[in-house]
Amino acid sequence: MNVGVAGDVDYLDPGRTYYAFSWDIHQLINRTLLTFPDGTGPDALVPTGDIATGPATASKGNTVWKYTLKPGVKFQDGTTVTSQDIKYAIERTFATDVINGGPTYFSTFLCPGGQDKTGACKTYAGPYKGASSVQGLSTIKTPDATHIEFDLNQPFAEWNYVMTLFGTSPVEQKVDQAPKTGGANYNNNVQATGPYEIKSYAANKHIDLVRNPHYDPATDGTRPALPDKINITTSFDSETLDNEIVSNSEDLDIGGTGVQPATQQKILGDASLKARALDPITGFTRYLSIMQETPPFDNVHCRKAIEYAMSRNEQKLARGGSYGGAVATTLGPPTLAGWKNFNLYGDKVAAGDPDIANAKKELTACGQPNGFKTTIVTQNQGKAPQQAQFLQGDLKKVGIDANIKQFDPATYYSSVIGVPANMKKNGYGLAFAGWGPDWPAPYGYFENIVDPRKILPQGNSNYGACSDPKITDLITQALKQATPEAEYPYWQKVDQQVLADACVAPFTYDKALDLFSNRLKNVYIEPQFGIVDLRTLGVA
């Protein structure tokens, strides 16, 4: 199978990855304690066993969760996976100076004694601090090789979802503790537990996957793993990749962001191409992050001016028109459990049009009646450059002079907009972003992108530095609820507060017109990631 993508994976290290298409690739390489079933039915969003025999039933008020491992799961070197390998993998994510970029839920709920007010775990700093730090996280117990227990520092009803994340992918201590193959170097020395192992990886060029000889399909139930080889070409020019798929030279664009405008017109005018196209609602929201720490956006009225000035219809057009999404007025997507529609910025904005009069009023209120200068950052591939140009034109109409800086997709999130100090230092004021849920409930969507305690120095996902203590209080109240459903009203208020603070400006609820080759089989959108499920694909 031959697939491509405009950028590169963020990380092959399962503890650091946080791109949706990277997660799709990781499903082929790294198994997790729990996973989601393949398929699209009502059970597709209910966690099932992967390395574990199945989900846990909580005790002690949703604070204690116990799992049993399946027998026969092995690393690619033939070593049997144990509960200690999973504990060690999670311990690595506490070493944020070494292992960063991925989700931070483990530290939130497993930090002994709880995190401090800044979100830091002062009581455990990962397994690289000497022999006593290895297997030293007291909130994870491994009574034997096949059992693992998590003692949470606060109640959390959604813990089974957290166990589907790649931070639970086992890591061998002997590999990770060796200087040449471990720590930051583990990214190039991943020991697979899934049906495929990495034969070769060249950054921004290719990832070649071949069969893992020690993978036993009898221990799995979600990965048909049909192709013998999977060739992934990275940093593929978007239009060239489209043309290669049209001609059946490539099988799929695994980025999941949809074809380019010229290819869209080909598909809509050709019945044979339309027959091998998908137009899913992805569950992502596309939005503009407004950097609160970059002047003059430290003033809320300057941020609100952006909310009013941006044409959401132009952004929708750049992403493919009605095939690219619908105008968004909330940060949470309509597919999210407990979602509630609202509009804080008036009928014009809700219709997708700019509100110039109100934008100018906000500029006056922030002491910048004649506008100011700022920088828009975006990616240099696909639809991103056109989106930035549209926004640049919108802002000019209200006196804001914005230049555009473009970056490679492979490092855009992890090393550019995910490093707050660099954004502030360079005066970057606005950044295009997109987000989908880590799991299908509000906490798995909002936590890492708006919680003030999740503003990290490296690998940050709260790009705009949303820092309102009201948001923190609402999240704290949500976590006190006994069921996910009881949390919904609090998350609705979180969404509204984020928009009132104007640290993000959502513009589309994402859709994507995707094309695949005529030899690709079993093609469907996996609900948890909103992109084509690589686990089930076959070629004929």
3-state secondary structure 469-537: HHHHHHHHHHHCCCCHHHHHHHHHHHHHHHHHHCCEEEEEEEECCEEECCCEECCCEECCCCEECCCCC
In DSSP terms, 288 is beta-bridged to 432, 505
* Six-digit token string for 364: 């006056």
Is-contact 522 538, C-beta < 8 A?
Answer: yes
Q: 426 exposed, middle or buried (CB, 10 Å; 0-12, 13-18, 19+)?
A: middle
Angle formed at CA 229 by CA 226 and CA 231, multiple of 5 degrees: 120
Is the dihedral angle over the CA atoms 526, 415, 331, 352 positive or is it negative?
negative
- Buried residues in 184-199 as b, exposed as e (16+ CB within 10 A): eebbebbbbbbbbbbe
- What topology does CATH give the domain 196-280+514-539? D-Maltodextrin-Binding Protein; domain 2 (3.40.190)
Integer angstrom CA distances of residue 422 from 196, 376, 381: 37, 14, 22
Tell me which amino acid residue 408 is.
D
Per-residue confidence in pLDDT tens, the chain, 540 aa: 999 999 999 999 999 999 999 999 999 999 999 999 999 887 899 999 999 999 999 999 999 999 999 999 999 999 999 999 999 999 999 999 999 999 999 999 999 999 987 788 999 999 999 999 999 999 999 999 999 999 999 999 899 999 999 999 999 999 999 999 999 999 999 999 999 999 999 999 999 999 999 999 999 999 999 999 999 999 999 999 999 999 999 999 999 999 999 999 999 999 999 999 999 889 999 999 999 999 999 999 999 999 999 999 999 999 999 999 999 999 999 999 999 999 999 999 999 999 999 999 999 999 999 999 999 999 999 999 999 999 999 999 999 999 999 999 988 998 999 999 999 999 999 999 999 999 988 999 999 999 999 999 988 999 999 999 999 999 999 998 888 889 999 999 999 999 999 999 999 999 999 999 999 999 999 988 889 999 999 999
Provide the pLDDT for residue 493.
98
**Helix or strand or coil: residue 184?**
helix
* Six-digit token string for 284: 């992502």
Architecture of the domain spanning 281-511? Roll (3.10)
Cβ neighbours of residue 336 closer than 8 Å, sequence gap 6 or more: 283, 437, 440, 441, 442, 445
* Six-digit token string for 476: 């704290």
Domain positions in the chain: 31-188, 196-280+514-539, 281-511
Rounded Cα gap, residues 270 and 228, in angstroms: 32
Rounded Cα gap, residues 8 and 68, in angstroms: 35
Rounded Cα gap, residues 191 and 178, in angstroms: 13
Question: Helix H segments across 37-138?
Answer: 83-92, 105-110
Nearest to 312 by CA among 339, 289, 286, 332: 286
Instruction: State the angle between helix axes of 443-450 and 484-501 in degrees (0 to 180), rounded to the nearest 10.
Output: 30
Which region, left, alpha or beta, applies to residue 465 given φ > 0 means left and ψ of -120 to 50 means alpha?
Answer: left
Same-fold call for 196-280+514-539 versus 281-511? no
Q: Give the chain's length.
A: 540
Is-contact 152 162, C-beta < 8 A?
Answer: no
CATH of domain 31-188: 3.40.190.10
Cβ neighbours of residue 421 closer than 8 Å, sequence gap 6 or more: 457
Report CA Rg, the chain.
Answer: 23
Rounded Cα gap, residues 253 and 238, in angstroms: 9
Question: Helix H segments across 12-142?
Answer: 20-29, 83-92, 105-110
Rounded Cα gap, residues 374 and 366, in angstroms: 15
**Stated pTM of the model:** 0.91
